[in-house]
Amino acid sequence: EAGVAQSPRYKIIEKRQSVAFWCNPISGHATLYWYQQILGQGPKLLIQFQNNGVVDDSQLPKDRFSAERLKGVDSTLKIQPAKLEDSAVYLCASSSFLAARGDEQFFGPGTRLTVL
Amino acid sequence: AQSVTQLGSHVSVSEGALVLLRCNYSSSVPPYLFWYVQYPNQGLQLLLKYTSAATLVKGINGFEAEFKKSETSFHLTKPSAHMSDAAEYFCAVSPSGSARQLTFGSGTQLTVLP
């Protein structure tokens, strides 16, 4: 079974530029998550999708971050404009809605963003 | 509200020694608890999870954790460390019955010395 795919793996941009990350979840997984992991910290949930609808985006800085999941499969996360403090690893994860409670989230390898 | 506290951002053990990584949680409802491992430049991988069944949970790679409600703890242990166990470990909590929204601790970097 193929895992969660993310691209690019690394991105370096100047502050105030825009950037987009792509995620392809495990086939059949209805739930998709985007996390931000700042160096030295645990992942922090940014947004959760159920199919193509948003379940929770309470921690998403909506003035600069946006995310979409068209057709309930792939997802993109965009930052516009980027700030220095956005430097982090952005992790995508997916899980099966039909699994029992407490089921596993499967994580992709992440995209490491450096904002100069 | 829920949170986890991982005591010790860095832990070093000798190969073959006991591994003990500490996690304390705070939750207003009965929690589900998880341990994840992250190897360099990789995503997180689930080691084990507690979902209100047995309080002693066995996971992959010889790891286990015990849920202690009285101590609000979920410490991760392994009897004998191996060099391949060197990684960062994250404890996470999710309210039972939730949409699996995880709150992670800040992580513990495990170093295994030869």
Are A101 and B9 an interchain contact pair (Cβ–Cβ within 8 Å)?
no
Are the Cβ atoms of A45 and B46 closer than 8 angstroms?
no
Which residues from B are below 8 Å from A95, CB to CB? Answer: 100
Better-scored residue on pLDDT, A1 or B106: B106
pLDDT(B96) > 80: no
Probe site for chain B from A39, A101, A106 (most B CB atoms < 10 A): A101
Mean predicted confidence (pLDDT) in A35-48: 93
Q: Kindly state whether A25 is in contact with chain B, defined as any CB-CB distance less than 8 angstroms.
A: no
Q: Is A109 on the interface with B (CB under 8 A)?
A: yes
Between B95 and A89, the higher pLDDT residue = A89
State the pLDDT confidence band at A103, using cuts at 50, 70 and 90: low
Averaged pLDDT of chain B: 91
Task: Give yes or no for a contact between B15 and B82, defined as CB atoms under 8 angstroms apart.
Answer: yes
- B85 phi and psi, to 5 degrees? -80, -10
As a whole-number percent, the residues of chain B with pLDDT over 70 amount to: 96
**Residue B43, min C-alpha distance to chain A (Å):** 4
pLDDT of residue B94: 84
Position B30 scores a pLDDT of 77
A31 part of contact set with chain B, CB < 8 Å: yes
pLDDT tops 70 at residue B48:
yes
Q: What angle do CA B30, B35, B41 make, to 5 degrees?
A: 145
Which residue from A28, A21, A35, A31 is spatially nearest to A52, judged by alpha carbons?
A31
Q: Alpha-carbon distance B60 to A40, whole Å?
A: 25
What's the pLDDT band for A52 if we cut at 50, 70, 90?
Answer: confident
For residue A95, give the nearest of B41, B45, B100 by CB distance: B100
Over residues B83-94, the pLDDT tens digits come to: 999 999 999 998
User: By the 8 A CB rule, do A25 and A96 touch?
Assistant: no
Lookup: tokens for A40: 């030295």
Residue-level pLDDT at A33: 94
pLDDT at B88: 96
pLDDT over 80 at B98, yes or no: no
CA–chain centroid gap for A95, Å, is 13
- Give the best residue of A51, A105, A113 to mutate against chain B (max B CB count within 10 A): A105
